[in-house]
Amino acid sequence: MASQPSTPADDSGPAACPNCGHGFGGAAPRFCPACGQETRVRPPTLGEFAQQFGGAYLSTEGALWRTLKLLLTRPGELTVRYLAGQRKHFVLPLRLYLTISVIVLLAIRLAAQAGLEGAPKVNFRVDAGKADNTMNISIGQGRAGMKDGQFFCTGLPQWVCTRLQRRIDTDVASLQAQMLQMGERIVAQLGSAMFVMLPAFALWMKLAWWDRRLRYTEHLVFALHLHAFWFLALLLALPSQSWLTLLGLLSVPVYGWLAVARVYGGGRLSRLLRSAGVSVLYLVTLAVVVVGLSLWALLF
260 inside domain:
yes
137 inside domain:
no
Return the pLDDT at 130: 43
- Counting residues of the chain whose pLDDT is more than 70, the rounded percentage is 69
From the number of C-beta atoms within 10 Å of its C-beta (0-12, 13-18, 19+), residue 72 rates as: middle
Return the pLDDT at 222: 96
Average of per-residue pLDDT across 105-128:
55
By residue range, what is the domain housing residue 240? 63-116+187-299
Question: DSSP secondary structure string, 102-154?
Answer: HHHHHHHHHHHHTT-TT---------TTSSS--EEEEETTEEEEEETTEEEEE
pLDDT, one tens digit per residue, over 237-285 is 777 777 888 888 899 999 999 999 999 998 999 999 999 999 999 999 9
251 inside domain:
yes
* Number of domains composing the chain: 1
98 inside domain:
yes
160 inside domain:
no
Residue type for position 54: G
Yes or no: say if 164 and 152 are a contact pair by the CB < 8 Å rule: no
180 inside domain:
no
1 inside domain:
no
Return the pLDDT at 134: 62
- Which H or E element spans position 233? helix 216-234
261 inside domain:
yes
Yes or no: say if 202 and 223 are a contact pair by the CB < 8 Å rule: yes
Return the pLDDT at 185: 58
Q: Is residue 121 very low, low, confident or very high in pLDDT (cuts 50, 70, 90)? A: very low
Q: Is residue 104 very low, low, confident or very high in pLDDT (cuts 50, 70, 90)? A: confident
